[in-house]
Chain A
Amino acid sequence: MSAVGELASIVSSRKKGGPKEKHPDNKVGLAFMTPWLLGFLGITLIPMIASFGLAFTDYSLLAAPDFVGLENIRRMIADTRLHNSLVVTFIYVFVGTPLQLIVALLLAVLLNQGMKGLSFYRSIFYLPSLLGGSVAIAILWRQMFGASGLVNQIAGMFGFHDLPGWVSNPDTALGTIILLHIWTFGSPMIIFLAGLRQIPEMYYEAASVDGASKVAQFFKITIPLLTPIIFFNVVLQVINAFQSFTQAFVVSGGTGGPSDSTMFYTLYLYQKGFTQFDMGYASAMAWLLLIIVAIFTAINFFVSKFWVFYDD
């Protein structure tokens, strides 16, 4: 079961009564768990609570935090750059993620047809997803989609001369980062491929005996049996996409430009918290991000009841 599936089953199967479980390993368990417990408390839980507290303060590292009540929230409601960064991030998440997953799924299905050279193609498609998060690739992207970059040079060969730079045009800059995101479809593709392997061949044999077409088989067998994995990919990719940072930072040179068109929410948060040291505001922003991610994850889990098909 995947991490997402396991979490869902733990949350939904809280035991009601029943025989008491025995805990023979309390002491040794504590010993093994000490690093994690310290980390959870010191690196995660306490900072989380502190961050919640800071969200109601004005704090710049230099002086003690100054309690300002709901001032940060009032500022967020009035902050049009923040609203813009939310729009940019939502476009990125809800355009980039579905496209990336569709490409991943289609190529996984195609690769799963028992092709010769499967492992070769798989490697080629997987490699970009390992490199895609690096600054080096973001630098490459900046050149490729620049005014005289690779893309416009190739366009010039087809007669499209003097196209403007894609990264310097507010209408297209975000598109180039979404394209970079799609380019890294390899890791969800690998997960899809592993899922496809688990679908018993006999289902397809039975279906073709009954005369089902390949398309029908895809929609009636492959997709339904793959829904738990699609679900897993959707949840994780949406969570990850909300937190994307490096590509927008490097492609825009840390500014989120041109005219804030690549100002991702995390990039704005970074600017507020770590270049302007407006840390109370940054904490409030971080909590809004957490709430947004939690809401979309909850929606995903809720909606999954209607489309995810569990075999057992």
Chain B
Amino acid sequence: MTDLQLTSTAADGTAQAPGRGASTSGTASPRKHRPRQMGRRTLRHVVMILASIVMIYPLLWMVVSSLRPNDEIFRNPSLLPISLDFSNYERGWESLAQPFSHYLINSTLLVLGCVIGNLIACSLTAYAFARLKFWGRNIAFAVMLMTLMLPIHVVIVPQYIIFSQTGWVNTMLPLILPKFLATDAFFVFLMVQFIRGIPRELDEAARIDGCGHFRIFFQVILPLMLPALATTTIFTFMWMWNDFFGSLIYLTSPENFTVPLALKSFLDTQGSSDWGAMFAMSVVSLIPLFLVFLFGQRFLIKGFATTGIK
């Protein structure tokens, strides 16, 4: 499938080869080239639409299949007919030790704790890196950027030992506490970039008015960096809603399971029998992500692009 995409896009690129020349030097004979350009444009859309279908079809099919009787999931690869049989959802909701809402609540609590932690700790750290001059700042900044690339595995075993001694294993604390200590370097970096873009004159005006750094941070910088805070909130939400490795290690008893662990235990207990119910709960687990994507896309794309580029 991907091969197809590759070759067809490449072919489109070559077909276009004279295109740009034609469009800019085309003032001499604009009419002559128009049909060919139209053809290219149509071809490009055809390629894009095909690629879109390949990308989105599995998702649509899962949603449609979750509303079908179990045996049909293995017989009908098409999206039609659309049935509205919610029995998979009813069965899936109740088929684990706790109703599925229990896991949704657990995940919500985890995400909430992590979002609050990241917002507070990362913004404080970012302000220091972006605005304060203190001893060792550049080294600390480089070290922070390096932790961005550090595999979590190299710290997870001793972390587990520490948290098992404090009795926090099987609670959410090992997952939430690090966020209050600004361990998500990605967001610190994102916020540093953002604060650097805020004109220093604003700080200086506040300083002349007698503000200290804490007031400048809270009353000048923080209100101006709302877009960066929104991006952080959305990414933290997405990542922690999907968090699997950490949750798998720290949350051991079923009543503490988050949504990803609940889905995993579904797979363990149901084996490969009740796919309808599994699809239904999978769809439920994706709905919050989808909503965040729908309403927060602007921040997601901006956040990603700015940490990548600027």
Q: Interface on A for B, CB 8 Å cutoff? A: 1-3, 6-7, 10-11, 21-26, 28-33, 35-36, 38-40, 42-44, 46-48, 50-51, 54, 61, 99, 102-103, 106-107, 109-111, 113, 115-117, 121-128, 130-131, 133-137, 139-140, 142-144, 146, 148-150, 153-154, 157, 179, 182-183, 187, 190-191, 193-195, 198, 204-205, 208-209, 211-215, 217-218, 229, 232-233, 235, 239, 242-243, 245-246, 249-250, 253-254, 266, 269-270, 273-274, 279, 282-283, 285-287, 289-290, 293, 297
B77 touches A125 (CB 8 A): no
A121 touches B52 (CB 8 A): yes
A213 touches B133 (CB 8 A): no
Bound Cα distance from A106 to B241, whole angstroms: 30
Interface centre among A39, A61, A204, by most B CB within 10 Å? A39
Q: Indicate whether A135 sits within 8 Å of B134 (C-beta atoms), given known contacts A3-B307, A35-B124, A286-B154.
A: no
B246 to chain A minimum Cβ distance, whole angstroms, is: 10
B31 within 8 Å of A by Cβ? Answer: no
A134 touches B140 (CB 8 A): no
Contact pick for B9, options A107, A143, A144, CB 8 Å: A107
B47 touches A110 (CB 8 A): yes
B133 touches A130 (CB 8 A): no
B289 touches A190 (CB 8 A): no
B158 touches A3 (CB 8 A): no
Bound Cα distance from A178 to B293, whole angstroms: 24
B20 touches A134 (CB 8 A): no
Q: Indicate whether A43 sits within 8 Å of B153 (C-beta atoms), given known contacts A35-B181, A204-B20.
A: no
Among B83-91, B94-102, B224-232, B263-271, the stretch in contact with A: B263-271
Contact pick for A134, options B156, B212, B260, B279, CB 8 Å: B260
Bound Cα distance from A290 to B146, whole angstroms: 12
B134 touches A29 (CB 8 A): yes
A235: chain B residues at CB < 8 Å are 149
B66 to chain A minimum Cβ distance, whole angstroms, is: 10
Q: Which 6 pairs show the lowest CB-CB distances between chains A and B?
A: A39-B181, A29-B134, A194-B305, A136-B282, A191-B308, A32-B128
A147 to chain B minimum Cβ distance, whole angstroms, is: 9
A195 touches B297 (CB 8 A): no
Total interface residues on B, CB under 8 Å, equals 120
B267 touches A131 (CB 8 A): no
A29 touches B161 (CB 8 A): no
Q: Indicate whether A253 sits within 8 Å of B268 (C-beta atoms), given known contacts A2-B308, A136-B282, A190-B301.
A: yes
Bound Cα distance from A31 to B212, whole angstroms: 13
Contact pick for B24, options A29, A148, A208, CB 8 Å: A208
Q: Across the two chains, which residue of chain A brings its CB closest to B148?
A: A3
A2 touches B307 (CB 8 A): yes
Bound Cα distance from A102 to B6, whole angstroms: 8
B245: chain A residues at CB < 8 Å are 245-246, 266, 270
B286 touches A131 (CB 8 A): yes
A47 touches B155 (CB 8 A): yes
Contact pick for B128, options A2, A33, A103, CB 8 Å: A33
Binary contact readout B240-264 vs A (1 if CB under 8 angstroms, 0 otherwise): 0110110011000000000110011
B135 within 8 Å of A by Cβ? Answer: yes
Given A134-B285, A134-B286, A273-B156, 8 more pairs with CB closer than 8 A: A35-B181, A47-B155, A133-B239, A144-B58, A153-B76, A204-B20, A208-B24, A214-B17
Q: Across the two chains, which residue of chain A brings its CB closest to B16?
A: A214
- 19 CB contacts below 8 A, A to B, read A2-B307, A3-B186, A26-B134, A30-B134, A31-B214, A32-B127, A33-B125, A33-B128, A35-B180, A48-B150, A54-B157, A126-B293, A136-B263, A137-B286, A139-B278, A140-B282, A193-B305, A243-B153, A246-B260
B137 within 8 Å of A by Cβ? Answer: yes
The majority secondary structure among interface residues of chain A is helix
B:290-310 near A, CB below 8 Å: 290, 293, 297, 300-301, 304-310
B275 within 8 Å of A by Cβ? Answer: yes
Q: Indicate whether A191 sits within 8 Å of B285 (C-beta atoms), given known contacts A110-B47, A253-B268, A273-B157.
A: no
Q: Across the two chains, which residue of chain B brings its CB closest to A233?
A: B308
A110: chain B residues at CB < 8 Å are 9, 12-13, 44, 47-48
B188 touches A205 (CB 8 A): no
A286 touches B132 (CB 8 A): no
Q: Indicate whether A279 sits within 8 Å of B238 (C-beta atoms), given known contacts A182-B2, A215-B14.
A: no
Binary contact readout B141-184 vs A (1 if CB under 8 angstroms, 0 otherwise): 11111111111111111111110100000000000011011110
A127: chain B residues at CB < 8 Å are 55-56, 59, 290, 293
B183 to chain A minimum Cβ distance, whole angstroms, is: 5
Q: Across the two chains, which residue of chain A brings its CB closest to B127?
A: A32
A29 touches B2 (CB 8 A): no
A44 touches B55 (CB 8 A): no
Bound Cα distance from A246 to B249, whole angstroms: 12
Bound Cα distance from A21 to B6, whole angstroms: 52
Q: Across the two chains, which residue of chain A brings its CB closest to B266?
A: A139
Bound Cα distance from A274 to B55, whole angstroms: 35
Bound Cα distance from A279 to B2, whole angstroms: 40
Q: Across the two chains, which residue of chain B brings its CB closest to A46?
A: B158
B124: chain A residues at CB < 8 Å are 32-33, 35-36
